[in-house]
């Protein structure tokens, strides 16, 4: 009696128990998706990945179904049938209207002469007329209704039909072409994912480069303010440094937005959720490519490219289809058979077995010109596929030539960019030291800083172009999947910014302490790498000696060295004025050192 009152509170308690979890606990954050180039390609090529992969899978299933449909013409066709019919039949419509039969009625009225004995003839004459009259009166003109049962199995088999055989062979070739198209889609999607991944890496490199530019601009501004505070600088130099810092921050905002767009494009190509946060573990780096000749590349392309194989299969399918229409003129042989039982009123006693089997020979004679028209159409389609085959061979040749030219140009761009970056770093280091020694203005530092930024951009663009050229060459030769699968998974590549290198700290990478930059500026310029020296030697006739000499590390500027390179004044300064200037320079140097040490 009381259970009905206790059940609702118990149900409410059970429902509210899961809601009494600690409110502060949230579902664990999965964090950013760490993504390498190899992993990105694998995700895009999965069945739930890129949209074109899913569409290509559906096309392959359709081609397989068409092949099974055409093959069915060569297999036996077996079917069973069971029927029960209630019908009425008109005997008059079938010519069995006995009541109106003149023959039957005439025989009843005028029986034929009897040739038997007199006794027999007398009996027949007495019984024949009534019997015929009774038959004519009692047989109905419409029979039924009556039930009819029929259970039967039928079999049909094409014994010889050369046209169906050719159509099946054509469908098999079309299926192989669809499989090659699936591989072509894999290569195309892999190339798209690779280029999108490289674009994201380039965006990351641009962000890192402009963060370094902002840090350098802040260090230059700090130095200009120190020079002004000690009396050796001017206000226009501080303003110029602030303008440069503002420009670098503006550029940093632009490249950060471009990085977000590049990540979204990469997610879209991979077929992932656009709200996924990405963390690219690879770095934009330079990887040399083994030398390959034009003939070797063309041979590899014709052997490996799936689109070339797909076009060859489509040409074969078109040729077989045209042959199938041509051989429709030949006779075809068909065998058939059926077996079953039939009866009336469903009585098993009256169900009698019946059968029917035989062979049919069909010989086409005239179809109104339909076959000739189809033959002309399929022959035109075959010629069209041959034209496409020639075109795709020319397209392969064009793509390989363009990819090789782009690769060679990108390699030269990387060498020149490396040399230019080393020159710009050396120039910026010397300009900073000259400005600190008081023998140059901040305008020289700003110009050197601008050229250093341009050199960094050139190096990033050169490495990006080189990696894109590698992908284009892999796609042109049909080895893009193998090339991307060889990429290291989860291992970062070479760093992008080799100079200047800042120690990692807990502070934000967007703003670095100026003391660290000052410490870097106090070190001599770095030595050139081997490939930069080779590029310098190769371009020695075209580079003036004044630029070639700047490759060598410059000696550290001292007060005596600064005095030696300092231009002679127009007017002869008094010893007191020179001593006053030396004191100001020493005070500025001590203040800068104290600020650096404190930072």
Q: Are 335 and 359 in contact (CB under 8 A)?
A: yes
Residue 438 is predicted with a pLDDT of 75
Mean predicted confidence (pLDDT) in 443-463: 88
Mean predicted confidence (pLDDT) in 301-315: 92
How many domains are there within the chain? 1
- CA distances in angstroms from 242 to 219, 224, 441, 454, 540, listed in the order given: 11, 10, 15, 19, 38
Residue found by looking up tokens 């004519």 in the block: 136
When mean pLDDT is compared across 53-62, 152-161, 305-314, 348-357, the lowest value belongs to 348-357
User: Would you place residue 124 in the very low, low, confident or very high pLDDT band (cuts 50, 70, 90)?
Assistant: low
Residue 114 is predicted with a pLDDT of 60
Residue found by looking up tokens 């080779």 in the block: 534
What the block records as the tokens of 125 is: 């004459």
Is 153 part of any domain? no
Give the residue, 529 or 446, on which the prediction is more confident: 446
Is 108 part of any domain? yes
When mean pLDDT is compared across 36-45, 125-134, 456-465, the lowest value belongs to 125-134
Residue 517 is predicted with a pLDDT of 38
pLDDT tens digit sequence for 512-527? 333 433 443 344 444 4
pLDDT tens digit sequence for 234-283? 888 888 888 989 998 999 999 999 999 999 999 999 989 999 898 898 88
pLDDT tens digit sequence for 204-230? 999 998 998 898 888 888 888 888 888
When mean pLDDT is compared across 71-80, 94-103, 245-254, 483-492, the lowest value belongs to 483-492
Nearest to 382 by CA among 315, 431, 324, 335: 315
Mean predicted confidence (pLDDT) in 59-71: 93
Mean pLDDT over the full length of the chain: 76
pTM for the model: 0.67
Mean predicted confidence (pLDDT) in 416-420: 92
Is 133 part of any domain? yes
Residue 260 is predicted with a pLDDT of 93
Is 128 part of any domain? yes
pLDDT tens digit sequence for 539-594? 333 333 333 333 334 344 344 444 444 444 444 444 445 666 667 667 766 766 66
pLDDT tens digit sequence for 356-397? 999 999 998 888 888 899 999 999 999 999 999 999 999 999
**CA-CA distance, 285 to 191, in Å (whole number)?**
18
Given a cut of 50, is residue 425 above it in pLDDT? yes
When mean pLDDT is compared across 16-20, 48-52, 302-306, 314-318, the lowest value belongs to 16-20
**Helices of type H across 438-523:** 442-477, 480-485, 514-521
DSSP 28: P
Mean predicted confidence (pLDDT) in 406-425: 92
Residue 168 is predicted with a pLDDT of 93
Mean predicted confidence (pLDDT) in 121-133: 61
Is 454 part of any domain? no
Mean predicted confidence (pLDDT) in 472-481: 90
pLDDT tens digit sequence for 147-180? 888 889 999 999 988 999 999 999 999 999 999 9
Rounded to 10 degrees, what is the CA torsion of 126, 131, 132, 134? 130
Given a cut of 50, is residue 334 above it in pLDDT? yes
Is 120 part of any domain? yes
**CA-CA distance, 279 to 157, in Å (whole number)?**
63
Residue 407 is predicted with a pLDDT of 92
Given a cut of 90, is residue 9 above it in pLDDT? no
Question: Is 8 buried (19+), middle (13-18) or exposed (0-12) by CB count in 10 A?
Answer: exposed
Domain, as residue range, for 123: 98-140
With vertex at residue 26, the alpha carbon angle to CA 21 and CA 29, rounded to the nearest 5 degrees, is 150
**CA-CA distance, 286 to 461, in Å (whole number)?**
11
User: Would you place residue 30 in the very low, low, confident or very high pLDDT band (cuts 50, 70, 90)?
Assistant: low
Is 130 part of any domain? yes
Is 117 part of any domain? yes
User: Would you place residue 94 in the very low, low, confident or very high pLDDT band (cuts 50, 70, 90)?
Assistant: confident
């Amino acid at each position: 009696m009381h259970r009905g009152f206790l059940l609702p509170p118990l149900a409410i308690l059970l429902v509210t128990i899961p809601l009494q979890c600690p409110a502060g606990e949230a579902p664990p954050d999965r964090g950013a998706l760490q993504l390498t180039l190899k992993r990105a390609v694998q995700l895009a090529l999965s069945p739930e990945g890129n949209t074109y992969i899913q569409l290509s899978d559906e096309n392959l299933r359709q081609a397989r179904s068409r092949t099974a449909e055409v093959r069915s013409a060569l297999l036996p066709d077996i079917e069973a049938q069971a029927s029960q019919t209630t019908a009425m039949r008109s005997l008059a419509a079938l010519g069995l209207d006995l009541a109106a039969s003149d023959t039957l009625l005439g025989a009843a009225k005028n029986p034929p002469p009897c040739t038997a004995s007199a006794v027999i003839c007398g009996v027949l004459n007495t019984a024949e007329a009534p019997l015929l009259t009774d038959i004519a009166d009692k047989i109905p003109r419409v029979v039924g209704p009556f039930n009819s049962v029929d259970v039967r199995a039928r079999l049909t088999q094409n014994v010889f039909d050369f046209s169906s055989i050719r159509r099946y062979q054509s469908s098999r070739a079309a299926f192989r072409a669809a499989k090659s198209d699936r591989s072509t889609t894999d290569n195309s999607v892999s190339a798209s994912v690779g280029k999108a991944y490289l674009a994201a890496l380039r965006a990351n490199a641009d962000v890192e480069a402009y963060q370094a530019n902002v840090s350098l601009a802040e260090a230059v501004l700090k130095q200009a303010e120190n020079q002004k505070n000690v009396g050796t600088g001017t206000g226009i130099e501080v303003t110029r440094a602030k303008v440069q810092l503002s420009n670098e921050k503006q550029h940093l905002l632009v490249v950060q937005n471009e990085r977000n767009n590049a990540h979204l494009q990469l997610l879209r190509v991979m077929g992932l959720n656009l709200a996924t946060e990405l963390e690219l573990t690879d770095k934009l780096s330079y990887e040399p490519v083994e030398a390959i000749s034009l003939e070797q590349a063309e041979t590899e392309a014709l052997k490996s490219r799936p689109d070339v194989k797909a076009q060859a299969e489509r040409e074969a399918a078109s040729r077989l289809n045209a042959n199938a229409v041509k051989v429709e003129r030949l006779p075809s042989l068909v065998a058939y058979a059926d077996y079953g039982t039939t009866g009336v009123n469903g009585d098993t006693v009256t169900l009698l077995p019946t059968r029917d089997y035989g062979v049919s020979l069909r010989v086409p004679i005239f179809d109104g010109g339909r076959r000739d028209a189809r033959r002309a159409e399929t022959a035109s389609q075959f010629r069209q596929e041959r034209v496409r085959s020639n075109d795709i061979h020319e397209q392969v040749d064009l793509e390989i030539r363009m990819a090789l030219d782009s690769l060679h140009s990108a390699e030269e761009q990387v060498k020149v960019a490396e040399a230019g970056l080393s020159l710009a770093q050396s120039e910026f280091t010397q300009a900073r030291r000259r400005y600190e020694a008081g023998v140059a203005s901040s305008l020289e530092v700003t110009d050197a800083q601008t050229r250093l930024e341009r050199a960094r951009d050139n190096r990033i663009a050169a490495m990006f172009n080189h990696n894109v050229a590698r992908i284009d060459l892999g796609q042109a030769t049909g080895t893009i999947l193998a090339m991307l699968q060889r990429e290291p998974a989860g291992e970062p590549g070479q760093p992008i910014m080799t100079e200047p290198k800042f120690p990692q700290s807990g502070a934000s990478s967007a703003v670095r302490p100026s003391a660290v930059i000052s410490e870097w500026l106090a070190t001599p310029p770095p030595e050139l790498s081997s490939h930069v020296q080779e590029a310098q030697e190769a371009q020695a006739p075209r580079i003036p000696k004044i630029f070639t000499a700047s490759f060598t590390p410059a000696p550290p500027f001292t007060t005596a060295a600064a005095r030696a390179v300092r231009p002679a004044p127009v007017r002869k300064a008094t010893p007191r004025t020179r001593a006053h200037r030396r004191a100001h320079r020493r005070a500025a140097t001590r203040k800068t050192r104290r600020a650096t040490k404190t930072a």
